[in-house]
Amino acid sequence: MRITQNMMTQNAIRHLEINRERIADFQMQIASGKQYQVVSDNPGLATQAMLLRSQTGMVQTYLDIAQAADDWFSANELALSQLVNLGSRALTLGYNGVSDTQGEQERRTFADEVDSLIRQAIDLGNSSHKDNYLFSGHRILTRPFTLLDPNTVIYNGDQEQIQVKTSPDTSTTLNINGDVLKPFFEALIELRNALQSEPFDRARLINAIGDLTTQLETLKTARSANGARQRQIRAQIDFLGQAQAELKALLSQKEDVNIAEAISMLRSQETTYQATLEVTRRAISVTSLFDLLR
């Protein structure tokens, strides 16, 4: 077959264009940090990357929920720990009041302090986290406890559990119901009233101390349950965090370009392009047999 000058020229131009496209591809990969720009560039890798991205998004959603739950449990712990400390102080005042060495005035002083503790306890029962009340059940926007009069505490919440899913198969309960706190408040009120009784009723005060002790233990049990849930949720956060890191690493393998390798390939392609350009220039400049003989 006769090779014409036009065929040589067209063939040279075609190879130059291929080299230029490869150079442009490597330049785009380096600039974007991605192995491909559109799905059609690499359908296989792109499909795998889309699946991994979907899984990463799902794990991130569960991770956000778990971290929000951890914050809620921390708020529970703060309120419950202060209530336990408050209850312990009230018991100390009650035991002091039982002693025969205390007179009527001292017991009134103890009762006044317990009355102050009652108001502090109600405030703690109305603790909130991000404008949501902790102990209202599902009625998170309703202030749970109202001290209607010195002897009456009203609970305005419900007994429902707030549950959140931290994985497709795992749920956890966030809240401590108000039915744990209300008897504790009532036991504090009875302790105060027993200290105020005239004439002094030792049996009533001893019974009040016993009731408060029982309710304080119930409160401690609720605190322990909250702590156990928080430990579980933190373990879940660790697991989800590791899963997220592994998914992101896999996604990076499917999407991200090896910059060092891409730069090396770009330089190699640029060298090839320059060599091809030079060879083409010489080939095109040879227009006749006489040029070859010069």
CATH code, 159:
1.20.1330.10
Return the ∠ at Cα 92 (arms to 86 and 95), rounded to 5°: 145
- Is 289 among the domain residues? no
Domain count, the chain: 1
- Is 17 among the domain residues? no
- Is 34 among the domain residues? no
Alpha carbon separation from 144 to 119, 140, 148, 160, 164 (Å, rounded) = 14, 8, 12, 13, 21
45, 37 contact by CB (below 8 A): no
Q: Which helix (H) or strand (E) holds 58?
A: helix 43-98
Give the span between the Cα atoms of 123 and 171, in whole angstroms.
30
pLDDT value, residue 122: 97
C-beta contacts of 244-247 below 8 A and 24+ residues apart: 244/56, 244/59, 244/60, 244/63, 247/52, 247/55, 247/56, 247/59
145, 125 contact by CB (below 8 A): yes
pLDDT value, residue 87: 97
- Is 162 among the domain residues? yes
Find all residues with CB under 8 Å of 275, minimum gap 6, and list them.
none
- Is 262 among the domain residues? no
Residue with tokens 């392009």: 273
Concatenated DSSP letters of 214-260:
HHHHHHHHHHHHHHHHHHHHHHHHHHHHHHHHHHHHHHHHHHB--HH
Q: Which two tokens stand for residue 44?
A: 């296989």
| Claim: this prediction has a pTM higher than 0.85 | no
pLDDT value, residue 17: 64
- Is 19 among the domain residues? no
Nearest to 86 by CA among 120, 109, 110: 120
SS (H, E, C) 140-153: CCCCCEEEEECCEE
Q: Which domain holds residue 145?
A: 52-251
- Is 276 among the domain residues? no
94, 164 contact by CB (below 8 A): no
pLDDT value, residue 257: 52
Task: Report DSSP state, residue 163.
Answer: E
225-242: b (≥16 Cβ within 10 Å) or e: ebeebbebbeebbebbee
- Is 265 among the domain residues? no
Give the span between the Cα atoms of 244 and 204, in whole angstroms.
59
Environment class of residue 118 by beta-carbon count within 10 Å: exposed (0-12), middle (13-18) or buried (19+)?
buried
Per-residue confidence of the chain (294 residues) as pLDDT tens digits?
555 556 556 665 665 565 555 555 545 555 555 555 544 556 656 677 678 778 888 888 999 999 999 999 999 999 999 999 999 999 999 999 998 777 889 999 999 999 999 999 999 999 999 999 999 999 999 999 999 999 999 999 999 999 998 888 888 999 988 888 999 999 999 999 999 998 889 999 999 999 999 999 999 999 999 999 999 999 999 999 998 888 877 766 665 554 545 455 556 655 665 666 666 666 566 555 445 455
Number of helices followed by number of strands (H, E) in the chain: 7, 6
